[in-house]
Amino acid sequence: MDLLLKLSEETRPAHESNRGACAELAHVVRGTGGIAMAVVFGLLAGGVSVLEHLVIREGVTVPQVVLAEGTGAFVLTAPFLLCFTPAAVGKSCKDIALLCLGGLLMFGAVACRVVLSDFVPLATTQALSFGSEPVFTAIIGCIVLKEVPSYGQLLGCLACVIGTTIINVTNVKLHFNTANLELYQTLIGLAAFSTSLLTSFLQVLSRYVLQRVSCLLASAYLNGVCFILAVILIVIHGDAWVVCDQVVVYLAIIAGLCAVCVMCFLRSLQLEVALVVAVVAQLRTVMTYLIQRYSFEKGPTIAGWVGVGWLLLGVLLVTVLTVRQTWKDHKRAQFLREMNFGRNLNVK
| Higher per-residue confidence, 248 vs 171 | 248
Q: What is the pLDDT of residue 31?
A: 62
| Higher per-residue confidence, 316 vs 220 | 316
User: pLDDT band for position 277 (50/70/90)?
Assistant: very high
| Higher per-residue confidence, 120 vs 283 | 283
Q: What is the pLDDT of residue 24?
A: 55
Q: What is the pLDDT of residue 335?
A: 62
Q: What is the pLDDT of residue 40?
A: 92
User: pLDDT band for position 179 (50/70/90)?
Assistant: low
CB-count burial class (<10 Å; 0-12, 13-18, 19+) for 241: exposed
SS3 call for 337: helix
Q: In three state form, how does the secondary structure of 281-325 look?
A: CCHHHHHHHHHHHHHCCCCCCHHHHHHHHHHHHHHHHHHHHHHHH
| Higher per-residue confidence, 203 vs 345 | 203
| Higher per-residue confidence, 313 vs 232 | 313
Distance in angstroms (rounded) separating the CA atoms of residues 98 and 95 = 5
Percent of the chain with pLDDT over 90: 20
Each residue of 106-115: pLDDT tens digit? 989 888 887 7
Q: What is the pLDDT of residue 7?
A: 43
SS3 call for 245: helix
| Amino acid making up residue 103 | G
Highest-confidence segment of 6-20, 226-240, 263-277, 286-300 = 263-277
Q: What is the pLDDT of residue 299?
A: 62
Alpha helices, H only, 117-214: 122-130, 133-144, 151-171, 181-209
Separation in Å, CA 250 to CA 56, 243, 291, 297? 11, 11, 16, 21
Does pLDDT of 296 surpass 60? yes
Alpha helices, H only, 11-61: 14-31, 33-57
SS3 call for 261: helix
Distance in angstroms (rounded) separating the CA atoms of residues 292 and 290 = 5
Separation in Å, CA 127 to CA 46, 285, 319? 11, 6, 20
User: Which of 9-13, 153-157, 191-195 is predicted least confidently?
Assistant: 9-13
